[in-house]
Structure 1
Amino acid sequence: MPRSFQDAQLVNGTEPNAPAPERPTILEMIREAIMRGEFVPDQRLVEADLSERFSASRSAVRFALLQLTSEGLVERIPHRGARVRAVSLDEAIEITEVRMVVEGLCAAKAAERVTDAEAMDLRRIGIRMADAVTVGDVLGYSEANRLLHQRIRELSGQATAARVLEHLRAQSVRHQFRLAMQPERPGVSLPEHQAIIDAICSRDPIAAEAATRLHLTSVIDALRTTSITTIETDMDNHPTPSERAREIVKGAYDVHIHVAPDVMRRRIDDLTLAPRFAEVGLAGFVLKSHYLPTGERAAVVRAAVPGFSAVGAITLNGSVGGMNPIAVELAARSGAQVVWMPTVDSANQRECTERDPEGARPPMWALLQEELRDEGMAADPVEVVGSDGRVLEATRQVLRVIAKHDMTLATGHLSAAEIDTVVDAALVVGVRRIVVTHPEFTSQRVAIDMQRRLAAKGALLERCFTTPYTRKVSWELWLETIRAVGPEHSVLSSDLGQPFNPPVEDGLALLADRLLAAGFTEDEIRLMAVHNSRWLAGVDDQRVGLDLTAAGRSS
């Protein structure tokens, strides 16, 4: 809470002794943004960012965050700063149970105090709610609903109860808003609200309290159902591959997935995923982590699911010492096949993230990087190429280890210029298997002409499902790039595993459906999905099918 009158003015976004502002206060604006979902649960609230967004002083923002902490909307974590507090379903239900008692009291008091004019006002709100249901105006109904509950609190004359309810509403509003946006919900709750209005207007406090309790019991039941439905929808409301597509990609390896165990939340774990892959006819996957080598984990999956091929990898970020040839050597000896150049710790990715933090939903690894920086543990950018434009000696040593073990070089999140330089250096030391990681990705943006040059040198261009699916690039441009460079020079992968994206085992087949719809032949798709992925996974000793599509390539 503010410590003085001047502090209180700062919370309100004004300087001491200034006239009252006409616009909403900084406190109100941040609170409203949280309640509307513009700031999501667990999202960091950085004072400098809020100051710039809302045109307020840092001190005003700081005191507003203190007030919101006392309201339960924000939590402050030592060494990590302020975050939007996540309210669980169980807590939202507990809050509604408390509301049931307090709102029942307010309804009873309102029934004792209501005047004829006030009763007419309540009935007008009820008519407004009924009209909204008739025309399917969910937002209009939600606003009238909010107005009705507010008016009942005012009529009750119970100022203490009103303060308690406003505090509770703020904490559970995200769950309430999600419930209110269900198309069928207004039709269910309308008669419940009409019963409350009738009881108050009839000046029957016992009936008013009972009707209010009955309504909020219905809300609790709906919260439970809506939460389950929302989780199922978030996880399963995705396109389903065709059987034809499933058949085309049989025998493929998904050479780029992110699954548990990992240092961040994932949709599925590797041991659960392996049988799913086998069931739909996929031969294996490459386990990618931005932070941990996965060779040993892949061995566990292979032992647990006989006949299935899980492939280990290592990514040369700060957590493994960056451009560390010893780490690559040990990864190779543990059975790893793929070596990614730096991703989240590459100098290029750091620069791109600072310049364009990817909007309101930053990738999970970007949030983790923020936390590490706040803890004072952020790694320095991993340099791959020197200021003279040549690969560093450490990079050259890594490439020699890759060549010695016939591992696969993946370019990670390097810039286009760095990719070109590293590929040339890799060829000089004898690296055979090279893939340019998602060249259309926001931090790569490798031009088509350069993609053609890289393909001419023998590199494959990785076409990830998530890049167009998450709108980092249009499907049209993604497809056109494959046509321009040639299917024989492309490999399909999913880059899946995030909780909000489709099931990982569907990724390659979903890409096959997209490509079929765009006019690519089954042979072209099989070349990209199966033959080229098996080459990168280290399964096939020779790369096959380079001229497989020469006669019938899509145009």
Structure 2
Amino acid sequence: MAFELTPEHAIPAAHRPAVERLLVGSVDLHCHSGPSLMPRSLDSATALEEAAQAGMRAVLVKDHFYGATPLVTQLQTLFAARGVTLLSGVPLNNSMGGLNRFAVAHGLNIGARYVWMPTLSAANHVAYERGKLDPKGNFPRPTKAMPEAEPLSVLDGAGKLREELGPILDLIAAHDAVLSSGHLNIREIWPLFEEAKRRGVTRMVTNHPTYIIGASLADIRALVGMGAYIEHSIGMYVPVTTERNHRPDELRDVIEAAGVGRTFFGSDLGQRNNGHPILGFKHMVSMLLTLGYSNDDITRMISGNAAALVGLDRAAA
């Protein structure tokens, strides 16, 4: 169902002081700012400036086609006095060579903090985008022609983890980086996370488990039981996108499935025609207040849990 974008002044007046206060120190680990082949509404410098104005602690820039670590490193230098830590990672899609240990080694060695399993190139995502699961074609498309995706899976034809994953997981463990399950199907995530834990990976996250991933509430509980964090996309719940598709009661359900201590929110915003990430965060805080969550719980879900996952306190030590 399509929704009109709701501006900031639509946030209830009674919520606005708390929203402004709670945003100070918040962390967005899912910012889709440009430059990008995907259509974007803002660039990373603008995202950083808006985050700084709100008092955010950190922003992680995510692009599906390239590792943005050099970009955010340069911006961090230029905006050193703004008080926001900029982060990025390595997306293991076709444009990065797929399950490419060399891309992972390079990215982590220059400061990447995340490694995403395939997203747009994941076989699970390709099936979704080709209309089997997304018949209306709602997922954004690149602004320029790209070769047709070669679907990637972490499992081989026999249903076993691909050998290429071993060195990649070892690198993630050695750098104490974050392993994201990307857009893999839930059935692929179980063996991936089990092997990751066996190899010493301690930071794991599943993004938007109820969107594309195919995870149930029981799956979310089980993922948390494996030690993973659960990130939910703000744009799925609040009125800052043209295709909001989840209700507030569903938001409560997914929070309760993982627990406040393992749930956090990333904007997953920055796409053209959608609201900016900071607007999404403001609406999400207001929605959490409406649902009755305490200030402490909200702080954990928009700040503390994400900071713990990515090791911000370790980085500052």
Q: CA deviation at 1:237?
A: 7.8
1:320 corresponds to 2:93: no
Alpha carbons of structure 1 residues 528 and 234: separation in structure 2 relative to 1, 3 Å: closer
Alpha carbons of structure 1 residues 525 and 235: separation in structure 2 relative to 1, 3 Å: closer
In structure 1, distance between residues paired with 2:135 and 2:236: 15
In structure 2, distance between residues paired with 1:354 and 1:420: 25
In structure 2, distance between residues paired with 1:430 and 1:251: 29
1:267 corresponds to 2:46: no
1:456 to 225, 229, 234: 225
Q: CA deviation at 1:239?
A: 4.5
1:494 alignment partner AA: S
CA contact (8 A) 2:127 2:133 kept: no
1:429 to 171, 195, 199: 199
Q: Which residue of 1 aligns with 2:263?
A: 490
Task: Indicate the SS of the match to 1:495.
Answer: coil
CA contact (8 A) 2:118 2:182 kept: yes
Alpha carbons of structure 1 residues 245 and 424: separation in structure 2 relative to 1, 3 Å: same
- 1:56-75 counterparts in 2 under 5 A? none
Task: Indicate the SS of the match to 1:286.
Answer: strand
Deviations 1:403-449, CA, capped at 9 Å, x for gaps: 111111111100011111211111111111111011011x1121111
In structure 2, distance between residues paired with 1:421 and 1:540: 30
**Count of paired positions:** 303
1:338 to 114, 131, 156: 114
CA contact (8 A) 2:129 2:137 kept: no
1:381 to 151, 156, 159: 151
- 1:175-194 counterparts in 2 under 5 A? none
> Identity of paired residues, percent?
27
Q: CA deviation at 1:517?
A: 0.5
2:30 alignment partner AA: H
1:268 alignment partner AA: L
1:461 alignment partner AA: I
Task: Indicate the SS of the match to 1:310.
Answer: strand
Q: Which of the pair has the greater relative contact order for Cα pairs under 8 Å at 6+ separation?
A: 2
- The list of structure 1 runs, each at least 4 consecutive aligned residues, that deviate by more than 4 angstroms after superposition, is 233-241
Q: Which residue of 2 aligns with 1:296?
A: 70
What residue ranges of structure 1 are gaps of 5+ in the alignment? 1-232, 543-555
TM-score w.r.t. the length of structure 1 is: 0.52
Q: CA deviation at 1:510?
A: 1.8
Query: Going by fraction, where is helix more abundant, 1 or 2?
Result: 1
Alpha carbons of structure 1 residues 440 and 406: separation in structure 2 relative to 1, 3 Å: same
Deviations 1:19-46, CA, capped at 9 Å, x for gaps: xxxxxxxxxxxxxxxxxxxxxxxxxxxx
- 1:107-146 counterparts in 2 under 5 A? none
In structure 2, distance between residues paired with 1:255 and 1:346: 20
In structure 1, distance between residues paired with 2:65 and 2:77: 23
1:363 corresponds to 2:132: no
Q: Which residue of 2 aligns with 1:277?
A: 51
- 1:83-162 counterparts in 2 under 5 A? none
What residue ranges of structure 2 are gaps of 5+ in the alignment? none
In structure 2, distance between residues paired with 1:322 and 1:238: 43
2:123 to 324, 339, 347: 347
1:513 alignment partner AA: S
CA contact (8 A) 2:181 2:189 kept: yes
Alpha carbons of structure 1 residues 283 and 414: separation in structure 2 relative to 1, 3 Å: same
Q: Which residue of 2 aligns with 1:516?
A: 289
In structure 2, distance between residues paired with 1:535 and 1:236: 31
CA contact (8 A) 2:22 2:299 kept: yes
1:257 corresponds to 2:34: no
1:412 to 182, 200, 203: 182
Q: Which residue of 1 aligns with 2:234?
A: 465
Across the aligned residues of Structure 1 and Structure 2, the Cα RMSD in angstroms comes to: 2.2
In structure 1, distance between residues paired with 2:5 and 2:224: 38
- 1:194-209 counterparts in 2 under 5 A? none
Task: Indicate the SS of the match to 2:30.
Answer: strand
In structure 2, distance between residues paired with 1:276 and 1:303: 17
Q: Indicate the structure (1 or 2) with the bigger Cα radius of gyration.
A: 1
